[in-house]
């Protein structure tokens, strides 16, 4: 019968072409065998049943073929929170934590009204809810599958104060009098030409609609900037993510309804967030 050590070493060998082969092999084995780190390290010669071996090498083969690790393990950490992710949602990226940072800066830490547009797995909305327990958050997405994933995360993470709503940008609020202190969004912004250049691990597995809004990549950003002002209170903020090289074009979309427009750089020095205040 196979052991933890034996499966791990064989999996590491099969994944050797990948830069983090041993880490990937360990995480996949933890997933396949429902083990925690303590069990992995404390008893490496423990035997595992054939069903676990079969499950493990199925995951390893998928990873070797380019499937993202997060989809195989079913989890991704964001803001030090473990989120459940599925192929129905975009995998949260570390650079998107900048949106949470900027949202917290302008929120004042009180009982603010926040809208998270295009919530995906709910990572931004749930991170903000954890940091701002008195906030009221409307997390929207056009995808029912994404909303299902977000609701699951909110339930597992025991998150309060977040309402999940199906909406195409602001469509669900057209007849509502609700106004927000903050609108935050990680919209799709990859152009069609840039999509063709993305690694197979992204292009072949992550939902294209969550990444590519149209030929230029600015289609949803333009709608977000042009349509968000009526849903913000006076002095409220709009914060959204942009791709590399898009910040200048995004800033040019703001009109006289806005002030204090600025950008913020991520850890790699890329202008990643755009922040503006409603007059």
CATH code (residue 24) = 1.10.8
- Predicted confidence band of residue 1 (pLDDT cuts 50, 70, 90): confident
CA pair distance 146, 210, nearest whole angstrom: 10
The candidate with the shortest Cα–Cα distance to 120, out of 170, 186, 208, is 186
The candidate with the shortest Cα–Cα distance to 114, out of 274, 238, 264, is 238
Coil, helix or strand at residue 137: strand
Terminal C-alpha separation, the chain: 68
What's the pTM?
0.93
For residue 84 the two structure tokens come to 């459940």
For Cα atoms 132, 133, 136, give the angle at the middle one, nearest 5 degrees.
Answer: 85
- Predicted confidence band of residue 187 (pLDDT cuts 50, 70, 90): very high
Label each residue of 155-211 as H, E or C. HHCCCCCEEEEECCCCHHHCCCCCCEEEEEECCCCCEHHHHHHCCHHHHCCCCHHHC
Each residue of 126-171: pLDDT tens digit?
A: 999 999 999 999 999 999 999 999 999 999 999 999 999 999 999 9
What's the Cα-to-Cα distance from 16 to each of 9, 60, 166, rounded to whole Å?
Answer: 10, 11, 42
* Residue 108: per-residue pLDDT: 85
Each residue of 53-110: pLDDT tens digit?
A: 999 999 999 999 999 999 999 999 999 999 999 999 999 999 999 999 999 999 988 8
Structural domains counted in the chain: 2
- 134 and 253 share a domain? yes
Q: Measure CA 140 to chain center.
A: 13
Residue tagged 């192929």 (tokens) = 87
- 251 and 133 share a domain? yes
For residue 142 the two structure tokens come to 């056009």
- 205 and 155 share a domain? yes
CA pair distance 104, 267, nearest whole angstrom: 18
Mean pLDDT to the nearest integer, 233-251: 97
User: What is the extent of the structural domain holding 45?
Assistant: 4-65
The alpha carbon torsion through 75, 207, 79, 124 (nearest 10 deg) reads -130
Q: Judge whether 70 lies within some domain.
A: no
End residue of a domain, out of 65, 96, 117: 65
* Residue 229: per-residue pLDDT: 96
Q: Judge whether 114 lies within some domain.
A: yes
* Residue 85: per-residue pLDDT: 96
Q: In angstroms, what is the C-alpha Rg of the chain?
A: 21
Q: Judge whether 128 lies within some domain.
A: yes
């Amino acid at each position: 019968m196979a052991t933890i050590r034996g499966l791990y070493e064989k999996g590491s060998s099969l994944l050797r072409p990948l830069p983090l082969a041993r880490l990937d092999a360990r995480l996949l084995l933890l997933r396949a065998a429902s083990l925690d780190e303590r069990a992995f390290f404390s008893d490496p010669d423990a035997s595992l049943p054939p069903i676990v071996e079969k499950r493990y090498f199925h995951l390893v083969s998928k990873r070797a073929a380019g499937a993202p690790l997060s989809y195989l393990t079913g989890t991704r950490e964001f803001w030090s929170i473990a989120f459940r992710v599925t192929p129905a949602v975009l995998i949260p990226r570390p650079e998107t934590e900048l949106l949470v940072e900027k949202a917290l800066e302008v929120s004042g830490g009180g009982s603010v009204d926040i809208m998270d547009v295009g919530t995906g797995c709910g990572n931004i909305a749930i991170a903000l809810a954890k940091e701002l327990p008195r906030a009221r958050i409307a997390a929207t997405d056009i995808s029912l599958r994404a909303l299902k994933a977000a609701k699951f995360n909110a339930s597992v993470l025991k998150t309060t104060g977040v309402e999940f709503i199906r909406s195409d940008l602001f469509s669900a609020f057209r007849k509502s009098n609700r106004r927000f202190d903050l609108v935050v969004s990680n919209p799709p912004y990859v152009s069609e030409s840039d999509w063709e250049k993305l690694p197979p691990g992204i292009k072949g597995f992550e939902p294209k609609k969550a990444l590519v809004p149209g030929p230029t990549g600015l289609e949803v950003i333009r709608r977000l900037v042009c349509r968000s002002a009526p849903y913000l209170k006076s002095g409220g903020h709009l914060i959204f993510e942009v791709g590399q090289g898009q910040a200048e074009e995004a800033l040019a979309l703001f009109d006289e309804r806005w002030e204090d427009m600025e950008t913020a750089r991520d850890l790699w020095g890329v202008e990643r967030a755009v922040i503006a205040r409603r007059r």
